[in-house]
Every structure is written in structure tokens, then in C-alpha cells.
Structure 1
């Protein structure tokens, strides 16, 4: 019996989960990136650069995402209260309401995916993934020709 292709299993299930999240968020007019920015900008002042790092977005993608959030009235760029040289992404009241809705949607999609596993397997699966993400697979290995990362 051959060993299962771990790369394929993780990549395929991650891709399918992302498509389900994207489709569900599209129903309320958000993209996964917009959800990510709202969710991370809401609890505290964060700059565009900080949010881009948290959401694994390049500068151009981040600018386009924040532009879309501003046009929708969900966020705005403004000077930081603590450092006038820094500009932060502030979530508007409507943005906070939308962030709560999008969090519910993402949580529901994740719960639906996990519900396909029996209870005992679900707990072991999550514990194993958390252990891998925090341990052996926590940090990418540097190489002369980096592997292409799957789109988020």
C-alpha cells in the first residue's frame, strides 16, 4: 500500500474550502480578502502593511482590497491616533456589521466541512493539523527556487 499524497490532500481540500468560502462571502458582496482585512483591522489599529502581512497579500492586492472596502463604505484610511506618521485602516460601523456577518459565514462553512467527519475523527484531525501548523510545518523552507504558493 502506497503512502497517500499529503501535498495533494492538503492542497485540494484547502482549495475546495477556499472556493466554498468565496462563494458564501460573495452572497453578501465580499471577497475572502475583504473579509480578512475587516476581521484583522477591527480589533486594533493596524497599517496596510501589517494587514497585508497578516493576510499574506502583496502590496498591490492590498491596495485594491482596501480601495474596494472604502468604495463600499466598510473601511477608510486615516492617520493613526498613536503615531501621526502612520496611516491605518479603520473599519466603519457598517464595516463592523459586515465583519460580524462574514465571520458567521466563514464559521458556518468551516463547521459544514468539519461536520462531514465523525466527532472522534474531527477532534483528532483538528489536533493533528494544529500540531503540524505550529510545529513541523510552521515555517516555509528557503530554497533558491521557491515553491509557488496556492492562491488565497
Structure 2
């Protein structure tokens, strides 16, 4: 069967707004930052998720479910992460004093030392990224991202419930 529509060539891309591709810019820089963070934390045998769990558990008494929510982790990922922390002697699960079904994540002394080391690494990676920008730009970037995260982009669309998040 012959098509009556003319063949499309590479130069026939749909017209787009002249504005920069915000999705690409945010995705690309976030991806590169995550890979740098992963490599830096990997040098001390940590992952970003392990760091997140240790820091959130050290801040105050929290259940496994509360930390999973704060770290945007699904239940399975959280269980695997806490299992790894327990196996390394960095954290342990204890029954919640207020809900017998829940488990509190408690950071061990070794875990507290590791959380301090990993926080230094996280701070360094963030600092290096920000220091690559001129000073006035850093403030503008952080203010703008903070405003988006607290405002227009603070909550996913309802339609996103069926969309899979990118692996981190």
C-alpha cells in the first residue's frame, strides 16, 4: 500500500518553543550529580540510599516507613537498604514503643561515624557542583530550585501515579 503523505526527514522535527528544554537540563544535571555522588560514596562502601537512611534515622526516632517516605523509597528498596545497613553493623531495627507493627531504625555508634563521613562526602560533592558556578548564579539557582520544589513542582500530578520513576 502506498502512503499519500510525504516522507518525513530528519529536518522535519516539530516546532518547539525557543525556551531551553527544562526537563533535559534538570534530568541531565541530576543524573550527573547522582553518578558523582554514587562514585564518591562508593569509595567508603556506601550508597546514597544508605546515607539517606542513616542520616534520617540519626536525626530523630523514625520508623522504617517514615524514613522510606522521606527518602522517596518504595518498601522493597527500604527493606533491602536497611538489611545492608544491619549486615554492616551500621543500623538495627527495633520495635516501635508506640506501634508494635512498626520498626524504628536505630543508628549504631559505627553507623553514626559512617553517617558523619558520608555527610562530609555529600557536602563536598554538592559544594564542588555549586562552586563551578559564579557566586551570584549559585544563589539564583538555589532560590529558583527551592521555589519550584516548594511551589509549582512540589507535588506530582495525579496522572503520574502510573508513571515509573527513573532508577536512581
Q: Is the structural similarity TM-score above 0.5? A: yes
Task: Report the Cα offset of residue 45 of structure 1.
Answer: 1.2
User: Moved runs in structure 1, 4+ residues, more than 4 A?
Assistant: none
- SS where residue 62 of structure 2 aligns? coil
Q: Does 1:103 align with 2:103?
A: no
Q: Unaligned stretches of 5+ in structure 2?
A: 1-16
- Give CA-to-partner distance per residue, 1:50-90, whole Å, 9 cap, x none: 1111111111111110000000000001123x426132110
1:63 aligns with: 79
1:26 aligns with: 42
Q: Which has the higher contact order (CA 8 A, sep 6+)?
A: 1
Looking at structure 2, the residues matched to 64 and 4 of structure 1 have their Cα atoms a distance apart, in angstroms, of 39
Q: Unaligned stretches of 5+ in structure 1?
A: none
Select 2:136's aligned residue among 101, 114, 120: 120
For the structure 1 residues 110 and 143, does the alpha-carbon distance in structure 2 shift closer, same or farther, using more than 3 Å as the test? same
Task: Report the Cα offset of residue 148 of structure 1.
Answer: 3.0
Task: Report the Cα offset of residue 146 of structure 1.
Answer: 3.4
2:31 aligns with: 15
Using the size of structure 1 for normalisation, the TM-score is 0.94
- SS where residue 59 of structure 2 aligns? coil
Aligned length: 151
Q: Does 1:92 align with 2:108?
A: yes
Task: Report the Cα offset of residue 2 of structure 1.
Answer: 1.7
Task: Report the Cα offset of residue 149 of structure 1.
Answer: 2.1
